[in-house]
Amino acid sequence: MARILKDYPSVALKPEDLDGKIDFGRIFGRSGPVHIEIGSGRATFLLNQAKAHPQVNFLGIERAGKFYRYGVDRIGRWALSNARIIRTDAASFLADFIPDNSIDRFHIYFPDPWPKKRHHKRRLLVPVNLEQLLRCLKPDGIIKVVTDHAEYFEQIQKVISAQSSKLEKIEFHPTAGADQGEWVGTNFERKYLKEKRPIFCIAVRKT
């Protein structure tokens, strides 16, 4: 029997309810570090992180309706007050709603590689979007990226290198919920590891 997904208004952040730049203190009902995961999927990472780090406020962005609803249901069932999810386009959301110097960490795990050359402009990690990530990050804020796509990872490294005056590479530490041999413990990572695909990761800090 298919699982019935419940809606939890306390978890689901609606784009139509936003008016200008987000006040995270109002959204979460408290102050504290803010982490954003772009591409939350079924919210496996978001759930594990929110449980492991109750002092941190987590916002997941997921465009696919089915995954978004599943994520809302999972977070809601666990009654986690420090996690929210929004269904929207990440690039425009960052530009329109995230204040300058407000985010402590971005998590970008297995973003769509858009492998066909004519679709590369749709990739998340391109120069204009990295500029937005940098604008949103606090000083010493961190961006963590994982992908299984070698060509995309090569491009990501080039885009980051072009901002070497603002970003420094740091060690990538596995996240909460990652098992032995994993970096982030997401559903995609586990699927790709079973398929023996190489996994590439990078972490950088805003200087």
Number of neighbouring beta carbons within 10 Å of residue 124:
21
Q: Assess contact for 46 and 75: CB atoms under 8 A.
A: yes
pLDDT at 195 over 80: yes
Question: Among 91, 8, 19, which Cα is nearest to 43's?
Answer: 8
Mean pLDDT on 157-161: 97
Active site residues: 112
Angle between helices 44-52 and 65-77 (to 10 degrees): 30
Give the pLDDT score at 36: 98
In total, the chain counts a number of residues equal to 207
Looking at residue 122, what DSSP letter applies? G
Give the pLDDT score at 187: 87
List the chain domain ranges.
Answer: 20-206
pLDDT band at 2 (very low <50, low <70, confident <90, very high): low
Give the pLDDT score at 94: 96
Q: Which ranges of 63-138 would DSSP assign to H, the alpha helix?
A: 65-77, 90-97, 127-136
CA distances from 205 to 77, 105, 168 (A): 34, 9, 5
Compute the mean pLDDT over every residue in the chain, rounded to the nearest whole number: 95
Mean pLDDT on 144-168: 97
Number of neighbouring beta carbons within 10 Å of residue 196:
6
pLDDT at 135 over 70: yes
Q: Give the model confidence (pLDDT) of 17-47 as tens digits.
A: 898 999 999 999 999 999 999 999 999 999 9
20-206 is a CATH 3.40.91.50 domain: no
Question: Among 186, 96, 195, 91, which Cα is nearest to 146's?
Answer: 186
pLDDT at 199 over 80: yes
Give the pLDDT score at 1: 56
- Report if pTM > 0.85: yes
Question: What is the distance between the alpha carbons of residues 43 and 64, in angstroms, rounded to a whole number?
Answer: 12
Mean pLDDT on 175-180: 91
Q: Give the model confidence (pLDDT) of 87-112 as tens digits.
A: 999 999 999 999 999 999 999 999 99
Question: Among 98, 113, 60, which Cα is nearest to 82's?
Answer: 60
Give the pLDDT score at 3: 75
pLDDT band at 177 (very low <50, low <70, confident <90, very high): confident
Give the pLDDT score at 158: 97
Question: What is the distance between the alpha carbons of residues 44 and 16, in angstroms, rounded to a whole number?
Answer: 26
